[in-house]
Chain A
Amino acid sequence: MLKMSHLSKVYRTEVVETYALRDFNIDVKEGEFVAVTGPSGSGKTTFLTIAGLLETFTGGEYHLDGIEVSNLNDNARSKIRNEKIGFIFQAFNLIPDLNVFDNIEVPLRYRGMKSAERKQRIMESLERVGLASRAKHYPAELSGGQQQRVAIARALAGSPRLLLADEPTGNLDTQMARGVLELLEEIHRDGATIVMVTHDPELAARAQRNVHIIDGQVVDLAEEPRFHAHAGAGVSQGQA
C-alpha cells in the first residue's frame, strides 16, 4: 500500500544541507495499522507530509497503492490526495466558516461527486463517528473530541485507501483521546490501512506495528538502547 525505498528529503539553504529523511525505507501493507514514532525533530512529520503527497522528496522511490509518485505533477498529486488519502490532523483543521456537513463535503466537491451521493456519504460518515445530529453545527460549537471526530468523518467520507493521522489525539484530553483512538481502532477493524504519527508511546502501543524514526531513518529498537531508556517498554517494533 505504502512503500518507500531509500527515500531522502534534503532541505537546502545557501550554506547548509539538512537531511530530514535519509535512506528511509518503510513498507506498509494493506489493512495494517502502523504507528510511526520518534523523538521531536526525528523526521516523523516530514515522513507524513511526503507520504500524504503534501511535499515532494529529494531522492529514492515512493509507491502509493502501486503508483510511483515521484514524477507526478501537481494536479495528479492533488487527485491522489483527494481519492486515495484521508488526513487526520493534530489541530483538526476544520474550516471555521463552514458547518460540519459542509466541512465534510469539501473533499467530495473537489472530486466532482454528485450532490445526492455527497449527502449520502456525509451522513454515513457522520453516523459512523456518532455526530449525525451535529451536521449543522459550526466547528466552534463543538468540543475538541467532536471536532476530531468530524475530521475523521471528513477523512472517511471519500473512502480513502490510506488514512494518515498526525498526532490525532495531541490536542485532546485523556478521555477524548481514548474515544478517538477507539474510533480509529474500529475503523481499522473494518479494514482500513492507517499510518499514525505520534510521540505518545501509549498511543503507539495500540497500533498493530510500530516504526521508529531517529535522525531521519527507521531504526530497529532492539539495536537502539537510547530509545529504550527514553521511551520505556510501551513501544515495540515489528509486531505481527
Chain B
Amino acid sequence: MSLQIKPILLALRRHKAGTVLIALQIALTLAIVCNALFIIHQRVVNLSERSGVDEANVFVITNQWAVDRSTRAIDAQVQADLAALRQLSSVRDAASATGYPLQGGGWDNFVTMTPDQVKPTTDSAVYYGDEHLLDALGLRLVAGRNFRPDEVVAVGTQQAISPPVVIVSKALARRLFPDGSALGKSFYAMTPTPTTIVGIVDPLHRQGASQWDKAHAGQSLIWPARPDDARGIYYIVRAKSGQLAAAMSEAPKALYAQSRMRIISPTDGIQDYAQIRHHVFDSDRGMAILMGIISVVLLAITAAGIVGLTSFWVGQRRKQIGVRRALGATRHDILSYFLTENLLIGFAGVVVGALLAIVINLWMVTRFEMDRMSLAYVGVGVIALLLLGQGAVFAPALRASRVSPVEATRSV
C-alpha cells in the first residue's frame, strides 16, 4: 500500500476542491460526533446514577395539607399518618421527609470544621428524618448507628436547627475526613454548635440531579428531625419486596382514612422510583437521543459524501484505471489505491477534526460549565471516522478494481 502514497498525494494535489471538501466534512463530523458522544456518555451515566434508595420497592407520596394547622397539629397528623402506613400489610416502613434522593425539595448547608471558619470546607444536601428514614429509603448504613427515637426533634422545616448528632453520606465523610476517621468526629453546618457524626450511609444522592449538583452529588447529611412544614410533606414508603403495586394502592386510602383534609395529586401525587427516574432524567434521555440522532445523521452524510465523491472519481478515471491495469496493476493494486487515497484524505480530516473537537469542548467547558472531554473520545472518534471512510469507499473502490484493462484501448 505504501508504494502508492506519493503518486496518490500528487494526484490529490490536482483535485484540491473535492479533497478539501471531504477532509473538512470528516473534520467537522469528527469534532461534532466526539462531543456528542461525550455528552451522550455523560447523560447515560446520569441515567444510571446511584441514589442509594431501594428503588424497586420505594415510592413517594406528595402530601399537601388542605387547611392551615399548627405545627403541633401537623406533627400529630404526621405521626398518625406514618403509624397508619406502617400498619399496612404490604408496607415495610415509612418516614416523612422534606425531600428525597434525585428529586424533591431541599437545600444545602455550608459545612465548616470550626465555628468561625469563613470559607466553608464544602457543602452538603440536607435531609430531615427520624429513625425510620434509613429503613424507609433502604439506605445502607456502612458505619455507626441509626438515630435513636429520643434524638429526633419535631421542627418546622424553615427553622434553623443544630442537632448534636448527624448521619452523613460516605462521600461527605470522606470529603471532611479524608483519612477515614469521620465516625464520632464533629463539624459545623451553619450553626454555632458542633454536630457529631454517629452514622455513615453509602450512597445517598442529593435531592437534585442537575448539572449544577454534579460536583456535590453524593454529599448529603441527615438531621434527626421530623419535618412538619405547614404546606405539605413527602411520605417515603418502602413496600415489602414484590408488593409495591399493592402498597401504592393501599397507602392513599390509609391516609385519607386518617384525614381527608389533604391533597394528593391523582396524576403525580404518588410516584415510584421508576417514574421519578424517568421524570428526573427526561432531559438527559432526550439530549442523549438527540445527540445520537445528530451523530448518526452526520456520519451517514459523511459516508454518503465519500461514496459519492469516490464514485464520481472512479467514473471520471475509468480510462486511467484501465491504463493502470494495462501497465500491470492488479485488481488489488487498484482497490488499495482508492482505499489509501481515502485513508490519506481521512488522516487530514481527523487531524483537523481532533483539534476542532478539543476546541469545541473547551468552548463548552467555559460557556456551559461542561466537564473536560477525555481524549479517549477523540481517539474513538478518529478510529470510527477512518473505519467509516474505509467502509464507505470500499464499494466504489471494488467497482474500480473491476474495470477491465481493455478500457485503456477505448476512446473516451
Contacts and interface: CB of A to CB of B under 8 A. Distances in A.
Interface of A: 45, 48-49, 52-55, 74-75, 78-79, 81-83, 87, 89-91, 93, 95-99, 102, 105-107, 109-112, 154, 158, 166
A79 B3 contact: no
B408 A78 contact: no
Contacts of B11: 95, 97-98
Q: Counting chain B CB atoms within 10 Å of each CB, which of A49, A99, A166 scores highest?
A: A49
B328 A83 contact: yes
B405 interface: yes
A110 B331 contact: no
B409 interface: yes
B329 A54 contact: no
Contacts of B328: 78-79, 81-83, 107, 110-111, 158
B332 to A, nearest CB: 8
Interface of B: 3-4, 6-7, 10-11, 14-15, 319-320, 323-333, 404-406, 408-409, 411-412
B7 A102 contact: yes
A75 B405 CA distance: 12
10 contacts: A49-B406, A79-B328, A93-B319, A93-B323, A93-B326, A97-B11, A99-B10, A102-B6, A106-B7, A107-B327
Contact of A106 (B15, B327, B411): B327
A139 B265 CA distance: 83
Contacts of A111: 328
Contacts of B324: 95, 106, 110
Nearest to A95: B320
Given A55-B404, A95-B320, 13 more contacts: A45-B409, A55-B405, A78-B325, A78-B333, A79-B330, A90-B411, A98-B10, A98-B11, A106-B327, A109-B4, A110-B324, A110-B329, A166-B409
Given A74-B331, A166-B409, A97 B404 contact: no
B272 to A, nearest CB: 67
Nearest to B401: A74
B319 to A, nearest CB: 7
A55 B407 CA distance: 10
Contacts of A98: 7, 10-11
B327 A81 contact: yes
Contact of B408 (A75, A93, A99, A106): A93
Nearest to B333: A110
B235 to A, nearest CB: 77
Given A75-B330, A93-B319, A54 B405 contact: yes
Nearest to B405: A54
Contacts of A81: 325-328, 405
B336 to A, nearest CB: 11
Contacts of B330: 74-75, 78-79, 110
A96 B324 CA distance: 12
Closest 3 CB pairs between A and B? Answer: A82-B328, A97-B11, A107-B327
Nearest to B330: A78
A158 B328 CA distance: 11
A99 B348 CA distance: 24
B198 to A, nearest CB: 80
Contacts of B319: 93
A54 B406 contact: yes
Q: Counting chain B CB atoms within 10 Å of each CB, which of A74, A81, A93 scores highest?
A: A93
Contacts of A78: 325, 328-331, 333, 405
A52 B14 contact: no
A52 B327 contact: no
B17 to A, nearest CB: 14
A87 B411 contact: no
Contacts of A110: 324, 327-330, 333
A49 B404 CA distance: 11
B206 to A, nearest CB: 63
Contacts of A82: 327-328
B14 to A, nearest CB: 4
A168 B144 CA distance: 98
Contacts of A52: 326
Q: Counting chain A CB atoms within 10 Å of each CB, which of B15, B319, B329, B411 scores highest?
A: B329
A6 B86 CA distance: 104
Nearest to B15: A97
Q: Counting chain B CB atoms within 10 Å of each CB, which of A45, A55, A109, A111 scores highest?
A: A109
Nearest to A110: B328
Contacts of A55: 404-406
B10 A97 contact: yes
A87 B7 contact: no
Contacts of B405: 53-55, 78, 81
A157 to B, nearest CB: 10
B404 A109 contact: no
B293 to A, nearest CB: 39
Nearest to A138: B14
A179 B15 CA distance: 34
B326 A54 contact: yes
